[in-house]
């Protein structure tokens, strides 16, 4: 099946580029250090933190896919981040179509909804990706694979004699666009939520600070391996991903043949949508306090180990689960720990943290401000 071939190649290419390894971790470190400088410039002031997180995280994806980073205040970078945010918002506003597809024709006839705007945003992001691909073609060197686009273009050349090949430049443009949407925005949303949680629940922030001080200290930059010695921090992140299910509705699939699941007959070509929110908020799995934020759900009784049950599935499950899981986990951990190593986070004076979300493709926090206070 075409998706299997594309997924297999993508994972192989990403691994070759250092995906989930020390090489990628070093790049993330560079982005975080610049982010910390920008936070320092705003210390003590109310900051719309979502807008300073976005450029840093999308640069991680730009480096992986296009082999370059854009400056924080680059107009092209600001436009791209805006488009990625809009894509998530607009796609979420049209999610009703998943449940009422017969209404599409009615809405289109009367020109109601954001469908036109959504397609324009998707087209603009894809055009950006196409231009990057064209630039890569001019300087492509088989002996120097710089990034994902280079690797994919070489695979296109390799498969050029195969009439049934699925490797095409338009597919590459779609993959690049998907990397930006899924790879940067969902990580930003997760870190955004975690900072708000720390501002809203000082006792959680205090425990994370304690683990940081004990395991890492104030001078050494955190590494991914530190998570093995920081069970509460890991549990706090895992519980956030359950409590505020980052992607409540998974991407729609459809059945390739008649099948049966737990006594239910599902005909061929039936559209199937997994609702991860329902799993994350099932009282039979998590208890009656399912709507409360409790990191202890993911800790052993003595708090010394992280315990993740099989029904904790923030990245979905099976062969179509998120291929970016390892990178996302590294990014979320490093960003959160590096920020809290240097700063405390608080709501602005006289204000409370708003923990209600807004549904797009991801469940995003409402845009708001927090204050960063240097710890030492």
Assign residue 85 a region (left: φ > 0; alpha: ψ between -120 and 50; beta: otherwise). alpha
Distance of CA 365 to the CA centre of its chain: 14
Q: Cα(283)–Cα(288) distance, rounded to whole angstroms?
A: 5
Instruction: Please spell the DSSP secondary structure of 284-343, one letter per residue.
Output: HHH-TTTTS--GGGGB-TTSSSB---TT--TT--STTS-TTHHHHHHHHHHHHHHHHHHE
Other residues' Cβ atoms within 10 Å of the Cβ of residue 346:
19
Residue of 168, 196, 141, 171 lying closest to 355 (CA atoms): 196
Q: Which two tokens stand for residue 363?
A: 């469940």
DSSP run (H or E) holding 374:
strand 370-374
Q: In the block, which residue shows the tokens 């304690």? A: 210
Binding positions are 322
Backbone φ and ψ for 351, nearest 5 degrees, come out as: -120, 160
Residue 249, beta-bridge partner list: 275
Q: Which two tokens stand for residue 59?
A: 């640069």
Cβ–Cβ < 8 Å for 180, 84: yes
Binding positions for heme are 322
């Amino acid at each position: 099946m075409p998706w299997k071939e594309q997924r297999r190649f993508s994972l192989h290419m990403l691994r070759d580029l250092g995906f989930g390894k020390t090489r990628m971790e070093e790049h993330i470190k560079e982005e975080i250090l610049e982010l910390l400088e920008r936070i320092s410039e705003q210390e003590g002031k109310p900051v719309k933190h979502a807008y300073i997180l976005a450029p840093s995280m999308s640069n991680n994806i730009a480096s992986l896919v296009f082999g370059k980073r854009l400056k924080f205040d680059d107009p092209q970078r600001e436009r791209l981040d805006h488009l990625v945010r809009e894509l998530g918002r607009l796609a979420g506003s049209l999610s009703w179509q998943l449940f009422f597809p017969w209404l599409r024709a009615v809405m289109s006839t009367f020109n109601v909804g954001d469908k036109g705007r959504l397609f324009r945003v998707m087209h603009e992001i894809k055009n950006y990706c196409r231009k990057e691909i064209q630039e890569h073609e001019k300087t492509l060197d088989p002996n120097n694979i710089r990034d994902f686009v280079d690797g994919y273009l070489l695979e296109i050349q390799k498969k050029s004699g195969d009439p049934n090949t699925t490797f095409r430049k338009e597919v590459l443009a779609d993959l690049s666009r998907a990397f930006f949407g899924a790879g940067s925005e969902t990580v930003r949303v997760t870190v955004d939520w975690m900072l708000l949680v720390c501002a809203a629940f000082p006792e959680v922030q205090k425990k994370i600070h304690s683990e940081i001080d004990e395991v890492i200290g104030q001078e050494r930059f955190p590494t991914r391996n530190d998570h093995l010695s920081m069970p509460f921090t890991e549990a706090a992140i895992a519980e956030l991903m359950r409590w505020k299910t980052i992607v409540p509705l998974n991407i729609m699939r459809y059945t390739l043949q008649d099948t049966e699941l737990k006594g239910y007959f599902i005909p061929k070509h039936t559209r199937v949508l997994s609702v991860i929110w329902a799993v994350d908020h099932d009282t039979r799995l998590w208890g009656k306090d399912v709507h409360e934020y409790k990191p202890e759900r993911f800790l052993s009784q003595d708090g010394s180990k992280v315990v993740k049950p099989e029904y904790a599935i923030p990245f979905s499950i099976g062969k179509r689960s998120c291929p970016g899981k390892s990178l996302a986990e590294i990014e979320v951990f490093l960003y959160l720990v590096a920020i809290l190593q240097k700063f405390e986070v608080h709501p602005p004076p006289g204000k409370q943290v708003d923990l209600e979300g807004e549904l797009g493709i991801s469940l995003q926090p409402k845009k708001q401000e927090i204050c960063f206070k240097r710890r030492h």
